[in-house]
Amino acid sequence: MLVAMADTEPRPTDSVDIGVRMSFGDHLEELRRRILLALVGVAIAIVAAIFFSKEVISILCQPLVLALAMEGLNPRLYQEQVPQLFLAYLQVSMLTGVILASPWVAYQIWKFVGAGLFPHERRWVKLFGPSSLGLFLMGGAFVYFIMLPFGLQFFLTFNRGFQPPSIEFRTPIQQLIYRGQDKPESEAAPGQPALLALPTLSEPPNYAEGMDGVAWIDATTGQLRYYHKGKVKAVPPISDSLVQPWFNLTDYLKFSVVLMFVFGLGFQTPLVIMFLAQTGLVRTATMARRRRVVILILFIAAAVLTPPDVISQIFLALPMWGLFEIGLVLGRRAERKRASG
């Protein structure tokens, strides 16, 4: 019995900030205090995020706006309901606040959970915690800087292939319906129609009294702009494709944020493999032999997690495949270290 007691390693409850072994009630009180501190931090972060959420929305929409402008289309989004923009503003504020407060929340979780961990367990948490956060941010950055610009440009360029049908061709029934609605050539205005040439400017001209009605072409967006009551107004260009792209603000924000979150989770693949190898649950040699099955699972997971388009699925599956290979390398190192130690 004494040998069994000597082999039992006590939990490190006497080496943490609490200083004494805590009862069950003390643990509940400590949990309540940590949750309260975490919620207060999140609330403060959300209130602070309200003051710059407009800039966050503009940053999130920048890839779409730039892609539309490069295609010569209207670089604006629309809202279907009156309070839609306000609700999107509140949702972005809450999401931004939660993201800003996540280190504080993680710290509170660590202060509560870390008290019951062994030294080697705390060492692994300290290693995996920052690495997981870094990989999550890398996944979000990959979506914003690589996937969204490429994917949006691809879909907008794809739309150009759908040309509207010709309105000059008419069936006999259509000719009967529209008979007499077209003016005969004898009634057309004589001579050539007058042409209007507008200057192309990169910046609006300096406004002066009497400039209302002055118009020009914006060199960046291709929009027709003009002065009205001292303010610059714009006439958005219209696509000559069969389908006119109009993007809903809420749908686009949901699309981009969900993609960033999914890719952030997908970029955790190396840590998952390292954990499996370190704990001995699955050997890296077994995962390497089953590489084809793993790749198939990755593509299926990408198809389930991403929106229903092939581009998003490929953009998630291929990086996860690469991260899987990196995870195998790191997992082999972890296995060798565990075997030698």
pTM for the whole structure? 0.74
Q: How many CB atoms lie within 10 A of CB 26?
A: 12
Alpha-carbon dihedral sign for residues 114, 279, 303, 59: positive
User: In a structure prediction context, what are the per-residue pLDDT tens digits for the chain, which is 341 residues long?
Assistant: 334 444 444 444 444 444 445 677 777 888 899 999 999 999 999 999 999 999 999 999 999 999 888 887 888 888 888 899 999 999 999 999 999 999 899 888 888 887 777 777 677 777 778 888 889 999 999 999 988 988 888 888 888 778 777 777 677 777 677 765 655 554 545 555 667 788 899 888 888 888 888 999 888 777 888 999 889 888 877 777 888 888 999 999 998 998 899 888 888 888 888 888 877 788 888 888 888 888 888 888 888 777 667 777 888 888 888 888 988 888 888 788 777 76
Question: Do 277 and 334 contact (CB within 8 A), yes or no?
Answer: yes
Question: Do 143 and 62 contact (CB within 8 A), yes or no?
Answer: no
Question: Do 135 and 268 contact (CB within 8 A), yes or no?
Answer: yes
Q: Lay out the sheet containing 200-201: strands in order across.
A: 200-201, 215-218, 224-228, 231-235
Cα-Cα-Cα-Cα torsion 102, 103, 108, 109, nearest 10 degrees, comes to: 70
Instruction: Print the SS3 string covering 19-85.
Output: CCCCCHHHHHHHHHHHHHHHHHHHHHHHHHHHCCHHHHHHHHHHHHHHHHHHCCCCCCCECCCCCHH
